[in-house]
Structures are given as structure tokens and as C-alpha cells.
Chains A and B, each alone.
Chain A
Amino acid sequence: MFEAQIKVTIKKTVADPQGLTVKHALESLDFQGIDEVRMGKFIIVKLKAQNEAEAKAEAEQMSKKLLANPTIEDFTVDIK
């Protein structure tokens, strides 16, 4: 059994209104020097696969097909 940890974030080139609002909130709490805040989703998929490479390929397919929208989002897959 493998655990795929999938991170989905709004593309760098696309404005992230949630991230911007959280940045302002942090600044109002006097946290200094914040350059940027980006929000995203963290998805854990536990799956059966022959090996790590296969699990990764499968999770990448899931991300492309459903978990991320390529028009506005990027994703990364880590297998644990």
C-alpha cells in the first residue's frame, strides 16, 4: 500500500484571492517580511500498486483527470 500526497496550488500566473487575503491578515497580526501567500489543497490517496513508480504514475493520472484543473492549477505528487 502506498500513500500519494498530492498538492494542488493555483498557478503562479493566476491571481489567488484567498492567498492574498490571508497575507493581509498575517500582516495585520504584525508578521513582517511576507512576500507572498498561496493557498491550495492537500489530498492524500492511499492506493495499491506494484511499486512506487506505478503508484506515482497512477496518482499523476488522477491529478490530471480530476484532482487539479490544468487551466488554473498546478500539482505535485509525493509517494510515501
Chain B
Amino acid sequence: MKFGVVVFPGSNCDQDCFHVVDQVIKQPVEFIWHKTTKLDNFDCLIIPGGFSYGDYLRCGAIARFSPIMEPVIRFANNGGLVIGICNGFQILLEAGLLPGAMLRNKNLHFICKFVNLRVEATDTPFSSGYNKGQILHIPIAHNEGNYYIDDKGLAGLKKNNQIVFRYVNNPNGAIDDIAGIVNKNRNVLGMMPHPERCSEDALGGSDGRMVWESIVKWSKKKSTAR
């Protein structure tokens, strides 16, 4: 299956994502510059972390209007797999592909450390290889990861089982300990923690690797079903 890593000015986890897809799960992968207006037969798009457009105005607010985002939104609306990590999650929120918004961390600190995550939903293309309730040791690195959604929206997320990852010890004030969610159709995932930074033991842990393997497994199953 073919992965694409979207690169905005200020993205800085693009190389890590590319490396993991290319070297760890050994799938075809290409960088996609944000000025591109056409997508070329991708199966999964990765919106990587970083500081797109310097986080000016609001994190993700300007990247959301980059030329690439129109085809990304179309791709997602047609059922294509999209995973947004950290700043990528913020961009997906600003683009309206996922509900809610990010506030500044409750303690106002940029937090960069390993945290424990609990897998809450395994019926998604991104988490099917994990067990429900499994605890993942995975790094976060953000200043605006304090996820917010109004009461009605939160009830909707719960009702549709859209909360995929929760923090075991909430580091940033995110509502209901939310660390990662999917859209209603379950083909778009946003998560603040960085699975690409913990997909190899050499990097201190490989709990994130199953995110990528789940995607590949899901895609294979889908193409066999065709």
C-alpha cells in the first residue's frame, strides 16, 4: 500500500514518518509538498507533526488552507485513510475533518516526555492490532494538546465510540483525557502522541509500531475483500 507524507513549511516529523513507513514497515512512501493540488493513488496520508507556518494565528489554522488540503479533504470524504499526528491532528481539527479544537496546555508548558496511553477503541484501521485497554508507552511533544469539545460533541464522540486513545495520567488538561479520536466514518485519526517516535526498540520503545501495522493489515484485508 502506498503512503504519502504531507509536508508543510514548518513540518518537522515528516522525515520520521517517512522513515518508519519506508524502513520499519517497509511500504512504498512519498513526500507530498503542501502546494500539490493532485493526489496520486495514495492509500494512506500522514499529516505529520511540527510547527506548520510557525503555529502563527492558531496551530494548524494556516496550513488548513494550503493547496494540498482540498484534495486531502476530498480523499478523506471518499473514505481514504488519513492520520494526523500532533500538529497534523491540529490541522485536521482546523480543517473540520475531526470535531473539536486544541487549547493551550493547562499548565502552559510545552510538554515533551513519554506518557502512558490507554487503547479505548480497536475497531479502527489505525488501532485494530492493539487490545482494548492495552497501555502504550509513547512520547508527546506539544504546547497545544489540551483537546476541547463542547458537551454535545463529547457525548457524540462517546456514543459513536470515536475516542481511540486516552491518557492514563492527563498531562495537558484535555477534556475526558482524550489523546486521539477518529471521525464518524473511522477513516480519519488524529492523535497528539507520536507513534512514529516509538516504532523501533532502538528509539526507546516500539509501542507505536502497531499503528502502522494495523493500517497495513486493514488495507490488505480491504483489497482481498474487493
> A and B: real partners?
yes
Q: Is A14 an interface residue (CB 8 A)?
A: yes
The A/B interface has a contact count, at CB < 8 Å, of 39
- A13:B150 contact, CB within 8 angstroms: yes
Q: Is B100 an interface residue (CB 8 A)?
A: yes
- B146:A69 contact, CB within 8 angstroms: no
Q: Is B137 an interface residue (CB 8 A)?
A: no
- B148:A17 contact, CB within 8 angstroms: no
Q: Given the known inter-chain contacts A66-B57, A66-B61, please indicate yes or no for A71 contacting B100, CB distance below 8 A.
A: yes
A67 and B101 CA atoms in complex are apart in Å by 14
Of the four ranges (under 10, 10 to 19, 20 to 34, 35 or more), the interface on chain A belongs to 10 to 19
Q: Is A61 an interface residue (CB 8 A)?
A: no
- B173:A71 contact, CB within 8 angstroms: no
A51 and B107 CA atoms in complex are apart in Å by 45
Task: Tell me, rounded to whole Å, the shortest Cβ–Cβ distance linking B99 to chain A.
Answer: 8
Q: Is A21 an interface residue (CB 8 A)?
A: yes
A10 and B99 CA atoms in complex are apart in Å by 17
Task: Tell me, rounded to whole Å, the shortest Cβ–Cβ distance linking B225 to chain A.
Answer: 36
- B94:A10 contact, CB within 8 angstroms: no
- A15:B103 contact, CB within 8 angstroms: yes
Q: Is B110 an interface residue (CB 8 A)?
A: no
- B106:A17 contact, CB within 8 angstroms: yes
- B107:A17 contact, CB within 8 angstroms: yes
Q: Is B132 an interface residue (CB 8 A)?
A: no
CB-defined contacts of A71 to chain B, threshold 8 Å? 93, 99-101, 148-150
A75 and B62 CA atoms in complex are apart in Å by 18
- B150:A17 contact, CB within 8 angstroms: no
CB-defined contacts of A1 to chain B, threshold 8 Å? none
Task: Tell me, rounded to whole Å, the shortest Cβ–Cβ distance linking B208 to chain A.
Answer: 28
- B148:A72 contact, CB within 8 angstroms: yes
Q: What are the interface flags for B90-106 relative to A under an 8 Å C-beta threshold, 1 for contact and 0 otherwise?
A: 00011000011101111
A21 and B105 CA atoms in complex are apart in Å by 12
A32 and B201 CA atoms in complex are apart in Å by 54
B residues engaging A (CB < 8 A)?
Answer: 57-58, 61-62, 65, 93-94, 99-101, 103-108, 146, 148-150, 173
